[in-house]
Structure 1
Amino acid sequence: MKFNGQIVTAHVTDHNEKEVFAQYDGVTLAIDRQELHALPEVGSELAGFAYENKHGEARLTTRLPKVGRDHYAFAPVVEVRRDLGVFVDIGLPDKDIAVSEDQLPELNRLWPQRGDRLMIALTTDKKDRLWGNLADETIIQAVANRAKPDQMNADVTATAYRLKMAGTRVLTDDFYLGFIHPSQRDVEPRLGQVLHARVIGISDQGELNLSLKPRAYEAIGDDAAMILAVLQHDPAGKIAYTDKSDPDAIKQVFGISKGAFKRALGHLLKAGLIKEEAGYTILLKTNGNASQET
């Protein structure tokens, strides 16, 4: 079917209890009657998206899919086939679209998994079969916005669209370009993986530099977070307890052992959130955690 994946206007020829039939370019297309508000008359015109479903049957749907031959959009991955590629859902009721393994990373561990998403448009091969075509850098650049200075330290949700040795390129949900250097991740993201990152810089080109690592105060653990909260609520931003304090006093005030207290202080010191001085633990000025220290 040479017009597979195109929007066409077909002429209604017949119908039954479940389907309406329309003809275009000598091909009879079936339409689900439930899509239609009213039964069209024979001879009238009906516009929709023409395609062959997974059984090879010619279909027409008035519910246009998210993507088209010239229209790129994100589509969720619904199946992974190591011998073929991955399949994505573009909104058709009885067909998913394959993205060939030729467009996927060489390493299988970096292939998209179910629930990831790929920005694609539709294309056809020599046999007029529909395939998903990944958006290249030119397409991504065309839809992207220029980042603003006030986005520093913001949390963003982004999708990995290109994997390179130098790092991972992503597009945020707000259509800003982002880059994740290998030093700002623990594991390399998959193609199509949806990531939760934070902005750590903005390039001269208006792209976001992102990190997948938590902020220091987000990675310190429950005991350290509790001590940090006590420091933040103290008017002077300090407490008269250090790793040298009496174990019973620590237990009475904080409800944890001296060992746990020392480990928690160690995390806070390593994160650069506190210092110990003259028998006090003192809160340092950090992003979003300013003490009263001058």
Structure 2
Amino acid sequence: MIELGKKQKLTVVKSVDFGVYLGEDMQADAKNRVLLPSRQVPEGTKEGDSIEAFIYKDSQDRLIATTKEPKLQVGQTAVLKVSQVTRIGAFLDWGLEKDLLLPYHEQTLKVREGEDVLVALYIDKSSRLCATMKVYHYLSTRTPYVVGDMVKGRVYEISDRFGVFVAVDDKYSALIPAREAKGKYRPGKILELRVSEVKEDGKMNVTDRQKAYLQINEDAENVLEVINEFAGVLPFDDKASPEVIQREFGLSKGAFKRAIGHLMKEGKVEIKDKRIYAK
């Protein structure tokens, strides 16, 4: 069976002036053949030879083969450049003559010409190859990483409930849990991360925070900056709710209390009347 969106080894069934027809074997009938245009046919090719080709569709929606290497196949993810934005969606450069459509309904944010976007390749209901930015189900859970490893990950989705979804190496499934997420994140941003957990299903939890004993100095500096933005008086102390602390500092309550304790030891802040004062 000739599979759309995949590379496969096929047999040269028939030669014509404008190329060769490929099929699973020499007995393939006209309905089960696909054209490899003459400019793609390796020199010296003859009937019965095997050729590895990628199957996609031409501008007239007909199956066609190519020996060019696409940047991804069905079910895979890759970072592609936006070559054009039109009324029906964006078109991406994926290494073939015909650009790949990224429909508007498959975009998780507005894309612009020249941008790099992480996408997966799928076959839509009309049997066309399309790209999607909704890559969660396409990312691999066969991670080669273990707890403590440093990795690079691309943010592709942000959830108030779950946290920040990240594609490590643009390939592996990972999450910065909501309790760990601090600061501002945006889709497309690449982060330096540490693997904090590898689950039984292979998905990773990651963090952009250092280990607590290393992170405390940075947190303390950031907390002091915010207190100074409040004119040196924070209108609550370290017993404030986790939601307030997260909103103002992007920290967990535990990290905030450690930072305040550190600042107090250094004599930079004091707590009185349920407020925190910079000295």
Interval containing the TM-score (normalised by the shorter chain): 0.5 to 0.7
How many Å separate the matches in 1 of 2:116 and 2:168?
17
Name the larger-Rg structure: 1
Question: Under a length normalisation based on structure 1, what TM-score does the superposition of the two structures give?
Answer: 0.53
Tell me which amino acid in the other structure corresponds to 1:129: R
Counterpart of 2:77 (choices 42, 62, 73) is: 73
How many Å separate the matches in 1 of 2:93 and 2:220?
36
Q: Deviations over 1:83-133 (max 9, x none)?
A: 3333333332x022112222222x538x89712322x1331442x432125
How does 1:104-253 map onto structure 2 within 5 Å? 104-105=107-108, 108=110, 114-118=115-119, 120-126=120-126, 128-133=127-132, 137-140=136-139, 142-145=140-143, 148-151=146-149, 154=150, 156-166=151-161, 167-173=163-169, 175=172, 177-179=174-176, 181=178, 184-190=181-187, 193-199=188-194, 201-202=196-197, 207-211=204-208
How many Å separate the matches in 1 of 2:115 and 2:103?
15
Contact kept, 8 Å, 2:145 with 2:195, in 1: the verdict is no
Question: Under a length normalisation based on structure 2, what TM-score does the superposition of the two structures give?
Answer: 0.55
The gaps in structure 2 that reach 5 residues or longer are 23-29, 222-258, 268-279
Tell me which amino acid in the other structure corresponds to 2:148: D
Closer, same or farther in 2 for the Cα pair 1:196/1:79, shift >3 Å? same
Contact kept, 8 Å, 2:157 with 2:166, in 1: the verdict is yes
Tell me which amino acid in the other structure corresponds to 1:13: S
Q: Deviations over 1:26-57 (max 9, x none)?
A: 55441424x72x32135655441232345767
Contact kept, 8 Å, 1:4 with 1:50, in 2: the verdict is yes
Contact kept, 8 Å, 2:80 with 2:118, in 1: the verdict is yes
Q: Post-superposition shift, 1:76?
A: 1.4
Counterpart of 1:51 (choices 56, 62, 77) is: 56
The gaps in structure 1 that reach 5 residues or longer are 221-268, 278-294
Q: Post-superposition shift, 1:189?
A: 1.6
* 1:88 aligns to 2:96 (yes or no): no
How many Å separate the matches in 1 of 2:144 and 2:54?
34
Aligned residues: 212
How does 1:249-268 map onto structure 2 within 5 Å? none
